[in-house]
Amino acid sequence: MKLMFEKILPSENSSWRYWLYKLDNIEFNWHYHPEYEIALTLNSQGQRYVGDNIESYDELDMALLGPHLPHTWCSSSAVNGKPQKVFVAQVPVGWIETLILGMPDLEGFKSLLELSRRGIKFSAETVRKSAKVFKKMQHANASQRFIGLMEIFQLMLDDDDKKILSSDGYNISLTSDPSTDKLDKVTRYIHQNYTRKLNAEDVAKLVHMSTNHFHRFFKQRTEQTFTEVVNQLRISKACSLLINSQMPISTISDTCGFNNISNFNRRFLQFKEMKPSEFRKIYEGKAVIS
């Protein structure tokens, strides 16, 4: 599996694409495209990959992604039977930038689009408000959807708690960049193999680096150590299983790649500041957003 190019076609009678996906789970699909993208997920928990950023996300998540920025979301199936929803707006660069250039009213959007080239995530309040607008778009005509898109852009612009995702040095140029290619390869490898024993020495060989060089490279590009990223992914997967399955905690520990239950409990406490059993109890009976 490698970084894939995705071809985007606008919606009928529209300059941009609106879509609602209803899925049992979101599969890891590392891809990019030349359009700006707003992606909002509901009823889903898992991992969000944007450039060199890897984070866990909860029921309400929304990100704005700039052109050619590699990304994917990844989640497990929910046992409650309710579909996971992904609202997507994919906006051609030329169209939105020409629109802003010709309308001084939209001058403020320039800074938002510039930041989006590293990816931006938004506060829960902004996601809730944007979700209401996205839902109205389902049965709206093209002009109403355009108004809704502008409303979402304004909500994102006004969010004082938005956070940039990828590091400043992440290279998303159209030409192949060896460092970015190596990081993409490592990211895919970690995701595909987190359930088994992983060590930096093997991954370093995969990208033809010495172990010391790899540690420095990985820390510089992700602002996290290799071990931190692996454990973060494993704990995120464990959280999903604790919420969406009745698996014994010891089985979840094994399933997520921990070598023993004591290590799992220590890591879980480190990342979540509570025991796995306490985490499961908190989420028992928790209402799912529809």
Residues 151 and 111 grouped into a single domain: yes
Residues 76 and 203 grouped into a single domain: no
pLDDT tens digits, 166-212: 887 675 554 445 777 788 788 888 888 988 889 999 999 999 999 99
- Cα–Cα distance between 71 and 62 in angstroms, integer? 13
In-domain check, residue 120: yes
C-alpha triplet 249, 186, 46: angle, nearest 5°: 40
Residues 31 and 114 grouped into a single domain: yes
Q: Is pLDDT above 90 for 3?
A: no
Residues 74 and 103 grouped into a single domain: yes
pLDDT tens digits, 72-121: 998 877 656 688 999 999 999 999 999 999 999 999 999 999 999 999 99
In-domain check, residue 173: no
Cα–Cα distances in angstroms (integers) from residue 253 to residues 110, 148, 246, 257, 258, in the given order: 46, 44, 13, 7, 5
Residues 157 and 205 grouped into a single domain: no
pLDDT tens digits, 137-161: 999 999 999 999 999 999 999 999 9
Residue numbers of the domain that contains 103: 4-164
Which of 133-142, 160-169, 217-226 comes out lowest in average pLDDT? 217-226
Q: Work out how many domains the chain is built from and give that number.
A: 2
Residues 156 and 243 grouped into a single domain: no
Residues 205 and 140 grouped into a single domain: no
